[in-house]
Amino acid sequence: MNQKEEKEQILVTRASLPPFEEYEELIRSIWESRWLTNMGCFHEELREKLREYLQVSGTELFVNGHMALEMVLQAFELQGEVITTPFSFASTTHAIVRNGLKPVFCDIREEDATLDPECLEALITKDTAAILPVHVYGNVCAAERIQEIADAHGLKVIYDAAHAFGETLEKRESDGTLRRVGVGTLGDASMFSFHATKVFNTIEGGAVTWARPESAFLEDRLYKLKNFGITGKERVEYVGGNGKMNEFCAAMGLCNLRHVEDWIRARRQITERYRENLKGVSGIRFLEPRKDVDSNYAYMPVLFTGGKTVRDRVYDRLCAEGIFPRKYFYPCINAYDCYRDLCDAEETPVAKNISESVLTLPIYPELPLETVDRICELLTCNQ
């Protein structure tokens, strides 16, 4: 078989890039300035542009989303337990444990796979310090209810918003009026990931954002933590690390930011096509995110009501056709080898069930609608 005849492989995602010349033009100045990293002008420009785009009051950039999460947890100087969801990427729980904190796993909601606030209170102990929910697939959490519970118990709320870039939702003000706010304004702080596979990328990168006045201290604290805890020419005050975003990554971010709205529009079309094609197909169900959210269409999860056997069979058949969806997230974090001694995955049955019945289907801005149709046909006849 020569290359032409070989079937094209359709992967679950494909990194978005700006036209090469755009990036080339921007990075040319780096050869003059020789300023490659350590909060250069692209870093500062991207930080400001993202603060506006994400509609938050503060933001700090990082080398990746995971370091952003580790360092924001460190910045709050938490001790004890952090309640989180087992239905997420490894990073969420690892960031807790690598801060010397104990993760406590809370089950998720059937309808959108986000942390279930109804299960929260039973998990709160005298040692609970914070809640770390995830806007999984860009499905925004029941943030109002989570905040009520957190406030009643004096807990911090830090969101893993790695999937939720650019999303907005409705907020009811104390005078009753509704206002649209950036998802990164929720809780005490939020973490975004700009990894190559995300809706918006800086090759590798991440950010912490906040809106509450009480979180304003993060600006100074995070800046120092990501630069080894150095606070002066001859002074080191914190046990920090290296979390800095370099100029090449920041420049990529500046280019990609010009295109991200077009990309989200294309993702929306693809999502609508999938939903239209698969609507009413027996054995398949969708998650139903909150209606007040302006989505970024980051992922295309479908659930097989026949469970793991059906899901795995469909997965294998799609792969045989050169289409590679992901079992994302399977297994749940509380079933990982490294956390097995800490918890029992049976205690979060909804998360276990969703992880065993979900496939995330290919979605990226250039994915042709005809390919979406072909994938849907395979899904419909292969169950």
**Nearest residue (CB) to ligand PLP, 42 versus 89:** 89
**3 state DSSP class of 146:** helix
In this structure, what token pair is assigned to residue 217?
Answer: 């201290």
What is the Cα 73 distance to its own chain's centre? Answer: 16
Give which of 167, 224, 170, 223 is closest to 190, Cα–Cα.
167
Please state the closest distance from residue 17 (CB atom) to ligand PLP, in A: 17
Per-residue binding letters, 86-125, with ligand PLP (x by CB under 6 A):
--xx-xx---------------------------------
Question: According to the binding rule CB under 6 A, does residue 301 interact with ligand PLP?
Answer: no
Strands (E), 80-205: 81-84, 102-105, 128-132, 156-160, 168-172, 178-182, 189-193
Question: According to the binding rule CB under 6 A, does residue 355 interact with ligand PLP?
Answer: no
In this structure, what token pair is assigned to residue 152?
Answer: 């009643």
**What value does the CA radius of gyration of the chain take, rounded to a whole number of Å?**
21
**Nearest residue (CB) to ligand PLP, 16 versus 193:** 193
Question: According to the binding rule CB under 6 A, does residue 65 interact with ligand PLP?
Answer: yes
Of residues 201-240, those binding ligand PLP (CB under 6 A): 206
**Nearest residue (CB) to ligand PLP, 329 versus 379:** 329
What is the Cα 233 distance to its own chain's centre? Answer: 36
Please state the closest distance from residue 162 (CB atom) to ligand PLP, in A: 3
* DSSP per residue, 92-108: HHHHHHTTTPEEEE--B
**3 state DSSP class of 109:** coil
**Nearest residue (CB) to ligand PLP, 92 versus 227:** 92
Please state the closest distance from residue 309 (CB atom) to ligand PLP, in A: 27
Q: What CA–CA distance (Å, rounded) separates 83 from 187?
A: 14
Of residues 25-64, those binding ligand PLP (CB under 6 A): 64
Of residues 157-186, those binding ligand PLP (CB under 6 A): 160, 162-163
Binding site for ligand PLP (CB under 6 A): 64-66, 88-89, 91-92, 134, 160, 162-163, 193, 195, 206
